Amino acid sequence: MKGYMQTWLVHMRSPRALWRELGAHGFLAFQIMVGGTLLSALVHPWFYALVAYDVANSTFLAQPTSLFGLPFWLIASLSLATGYLASMALGLFTLRLRGGYRLIAQVPLMPLYWLLISAAAYRALWQFATKRFAWEKTDHGLSRTMAPPR
């Protein structure tokens, strides 16, 4: 996530130049893929916070009291529900396509996984502010399922 942050910030130092290099479609794709990944990871836990707030105040799934609140509530609810359902459906489809039947039971855990991604994004944001050039590298080696080198 820290790499995404640095990549987005470096390229957005000169958005006009990036627009010229990538064109309109490439620029938009970059914003969605890199910026959207970061934004969604940072915003995701706030949906849970809002739900917890509504549950604590007994207003969860209650009709909004203001005219302005109804469209916001509908868009937020629809976005969250369709996002979860579409991602899980895609996960199920991909697992079935690739024969990963033993992993299908884990698909409902995707929201928990996304919360872990959010935690990683906030950690990366903190590290970006405090230790910008420090990287936590993973030791890579041979896995048990990997063929030995020739």
Higher pLDDT, 41 or 47: 41
Q: Which pLDDT value is given to residue 145? A: 63
pLDDT in tens, 67-98: 777 788 788 778 888 988 999 999 999 999 99
In whole angstroms, give the CA distance from residue 135 to residue 127.
9
Distance, CA of 41 to CA of 34 (rounded, Å) = 11
How much is the pLDDT for 148?
61
Residue 135 CA to its chain's centroid (Å): 21
Mean pLDDT of 107-136: 91
* Residue 109 pLDDT class (50, 70, 90 cuts): very high
Q: What percent of the chain has pLDDT over 90?
A: 59
Looking at residue 42, what is its pLDDT?
95
Q: What is the value of pTM for the model shown?
A: 0.75
